[in-house]
Chain A
Amino acid sequence: MSAEEIKKQLYENILSGDFELTGGIAVKAVEENMDPLIIINETLVPAIELVGEKFSKKEYFLPDLMRSASAMKNAIEIFEKEIKTKGIERKTMGKVIIGTVKGDIHEIGKSIVSSLLTAKGFKVVDLGVDVDSETFIKNVINEKADILGMSALLPITMPYQGKVIEDLKLKNLRNKVKVMVGGSPVTQEHADRIGADGYADNAVSAVKLAEKLMQE
């Protein structure tokens, strides 16, 4: 397979979400000694961005997005390993701590945001679900995070996003980290009320929001 053919196949398989194939193609790219950074930036990222665009336009739906994110993940894991082996570095867009708040074990939205952020070049520490304030804050400190992302899928767990923000203030950390919130019952009004820096109503806009927050 030529280098051009490899790139084309990676691009197309991410777009169609054929996740079982992308890992194998990425291995071929590495065997061909192709530059992993160039492939990520010029092939994988544009492909996943197009997927995001299609999702925003409602041409793609959640299963399509998840499939493409998995395809992307399978390829990127192989390229990142190669990047490490070669001792080079992928430019980080920023560091994000992410999780679903305490009392809430819904993971799907948070996980999609997490994979799309990773795809875009953010370093993401995904704390999983049912995460308490102490754990969020400990990780914000230890990881020197730029952004804290919190998901809540129940009206009853939404206020906990506010609690974590209050706890950040108590520890004098509020101006050290940007806070973004999401989850199906969450609204811009809620985000404003609890003093978050941003709110996004879907995974694609969450990535755009994270990019915007990094520029502020």
Chain B
Amino acid sequence: MGLSSKERMQIAMEHKEADMIPFQATFVPEVDKILRKKYAREIEGIKGKKEEKYQGMTELDILFGHDMLLLTYGLSTGYYRDTDANAYVDEWDITWKKIPYKTINGDGYYTEIVRFPLADDSKIDSYIPPDPGNEDMGYAEEVIKNYGKDYYICGIIDCSIFEALKYLRGITQSLIDIVANKDIAHKVMDISVDYHLKLGLKLIDRGVDLLWLADDIGGEHTLLMSPQVFREMIKPKMGYMIGELKKKSKDIKVAFHSDGYIEPVIDDLIEVGVDLLNPIQPESMDPSFIKKRYGKKICLWGTVSTQQTLPFGTSEDVEYEIRERIKTCGPGGGFLLAPTHNIQLDVSFENIQAFYDAIKKYRNYPIKI
């Protein structure tokens, strides 16, 4: 019998070649809905759970053979809420507004923050963040009960540090805060560190294999802040969080996500204990270079372009890109292939099909490309 998804991921995370390259993908809710409808018959009977607050899509994960299942918790769950309201306030007192868009495949929406609860300095001291005790662990428990034995389980505690500052203060203000109002920046970021750390510890108790932190610190071709500012303001908080998580469980792995170009601080991420780096956007960093330069010390997760290839490429382009990534990032393990973000509504069904077909065609070890 072949390896389970969980074993495949565990081997990959040890920088070794398993039977195949593990992979996964996520979709925006609009695509999730289309696929659920399209595959209604096939997913019937697959155990899944979709809760109002969380982006659960377990049935599709199982149907498509994804090796890792994601459980979304914390601040970022404010982004998508299953509500008819055009705007809503989440438990962090953040006001979100739906911004509609149209594509050839239908209409969808993104959400944007239209009111930042701590934009005004005077609100910070009296701010009461939500209680991590109120997060519904039933969702994680159910998925882990059903799938924890066979699948690698990732608990998302993203928007952990700098992203939280952006959510609570606004991006423009945050960029100013980290260089000119450092006390405020620390105070606000620590609220989130405390919250997401508690959440991470609870998820370890429930049995997750991986915890996923995220802070967008990269622009398209440069860091959003200098490496020095990252090292002074953000890195120590990451080190503290990851240290506490690994103290709780020596087996827990930690992933970190930042869009864009972050190469100057990858060594810092390795130093604070990041095991898996996401998403290595090919528009910003060359995945084969990152693999060559850092691949022995950190695993790569992502690399397939959701910005260009999946929406604008042909199905041959999609196949070519996956073939290239497997060829350059697959050797020696340490690679979880995935789109660099949720597959968006402007991606054609042919390209989604091409994504899965190419993975099936090329993912076997030993790589024969």
Contacts and interface: CB of A to CB of B under 8 A. Distances in A.
Partners in one complex: yes
Interface of A: 17, 19, 58, 60-64, 66-67, 70, 103-105, 107-108, 111, 130, 154-157, 184-185, 201-202
B344 A62 contact: no
Contacts of B307: 155, 185
B254 to A, nearest CB: 26
For the residues of A in contact with B, the DSSP-based class is loop
29 contacts: A17-B179, A58-B222, A61-B222, A61-B223, A61-B225, A61-B229, A62-B175, A62-B219, A62-B225, A63-B229, A64-B226, A66-B172, A70-B176, A103-B101, A104-B99, A105-B99, A105-B112, A108-B171, A108-B172, A111-B172, A154-B110, A155-B311, A155-B344, A155-B346, A156-B101, A156-B103, A184-B220, A184-B260, A185-B283
B100 interface: yes
Nearest to A109: B219
Contacts of A107: 172
7 closest cross-chain pairs (CB), A and B: A63-B179, A63-B175, A184-B220, A61-B226, A156-B101, A105-B112, A61-B225
Nearest to A185: B307
A63 B219 contact: no
Which of B178, B219, B311 has the most chain A CB atoms closer than 10 A to its own CB?
B219
Contacts of B226: 60-61, 63-64
A202 B221 CA distance: 9
B266 interface: no
Interface residues of B, number: 30
A155 B307 CA distance: 7
A103 B99 CA distance: 6
B180 interface: yes
B285 interface: no
A66 B222 contact: no
Given A108-B172, A111-B172, A184-B260, 9 more contacts: A61-B223, A61-B226, A63-B175, A63-B176, A103-B99, A103-B100, A104-B99, A155-B311, A201-B221
Contact of A67 (B112, B176, B221): B176
B201 interface: no
A108 B176 CA distance: 12
Interface in B309-343: 311-312
A60 B171 CA distance: 18
A67 B180 contact: yes
A201 B261 CA distance: 14
A191 to B, nearest CB: 15
Nearest to B177: A63
B124 interface: no
Contacts of A104: 99
